[in-house]
Amino acid sequence: MSPSASKSPRIFLITGCSTGIGASLAQEVIDRGDIAVATARKPSSLKFKDTTEQNFLPLPVDLYDRESIVAAFDAAVKAFGRVDAFINNADGTRKAMEVMRAQSPPGGAIMQVTSIGGLIGFPLMSMYSASKFAVEGLTEAIAQEVKPEWNIHFTCVEPGGFRTDFFHRSMTYTDQPHPAYDHVDLRATMKQMADVQMGDPAKGARAIYEAAVLSKPPSRLLLGTDAYNWYNSKLESWAGDAKENEHISLSTDVDAA
């Protein structure tokens, strides 16, 4: 977080505030005495407790319209002078970097909300995992490209299952499943996953807030017992595969090496 953040309220620009963790995070920011610039496709629907013109600015953002993201940053800077943390459920990383490296003093936290599905491929969710894996790779790469003096920190936030409407309003199901996959009951599988979600959105929001205000936020933040256990199981599996096939992996260098 920027040097000035400890002396005055931090400005959080949060995408996806109409429901779920985004909504909980906006309320968490306000409750902590900071400023929530909260975005949604319909900002008039955003209602939080204890808001004033000094701590809350609702703005329209459409994930399919990059200009709306740019406009949201411009409005936040115009209203409050800077952006200290960007909680990104959309593709606004480039604009966030432009704002954070140019403001005085420079710096900020970019929290990319991906998913445990950005680290582990789950059946029936291949396209979802592909998109989340891409954000993970993008973030890991650009985090190594920024100048240290910009003081911009990147975190991939990887939630497990949280009790939101992810498996309901946010997901579209096909009515014509491919006959080759008649062994899979998509709706039943998704319902089973929805029924066992462990995460509390308010607690997830609190964890994201606490990571964002650290002087050096973590590069990755797993949220939930399920995400933590799945990830560690994957690491063990990867290590086992690497060791078992070490002789193959090390056989491909040129002879001079």
pLDDT in tens, 201-251: 999 999 999 999 999 999 999 999 999 999 999 999 999 999 999 999 999
Residue 162 gets which letter from DSSP? B
- Angle at CA of residue 57, ends 68 and 30, nearest 5°: 130
pLDDT in tens, 158-211: 998 876 666 556 666 667 777 888 887 776 766 666 666 678 899 999 999 999
Residue 172 gets which letter from DSSP? -
| Chain length of the chain | 257
Euclidean distance between CA atoms 60 and 133, whole angstroms: 27
Q: What is 3-162+198-249's CATH topology? A: Rossmann fold (3.40.50)
H-assigned helices in the chain: 20-31, 66-80, 93-102, 126-142, 186-195, 201-212, 225-244, 246-249
Euclidean distance between CA atoms 14 and 29, whole angstroms: 10
Cβ atoms of 110 and 155 closer than 8 Å: yes
What is the predicted pLDDT for the residue at 6?
A: 47
**If you search the block for the tokens 């955003």, which residue do you land on?**
46
Euclidean distance between CA atoms 27 and 159, whole angstroms: 19
Bond before 105 cis per omega within 30 degrees: yes
Euclidean distance between CA atoms 249 and 243, whole angstroms: 9
- Angle at CA of residue 141, ends 133 and 223, nearest 5°: 50
pTM of this prediction exceeds 0.85: yes
pLDDT in tens, 48-85: 999 999 999 999 999 889 999 999 999 999 999 999 99
Q: At what angle do helices 126-142 and 93-102 cross, to 10 degrees?
A: 20
Euclidean distance between CA atoms 154 and 220, whole angstroms: 8
Cβ atoms of 40 and 18 closer than 8 Å: yes
Closest CA to 12 of 91, 68, 96: 96
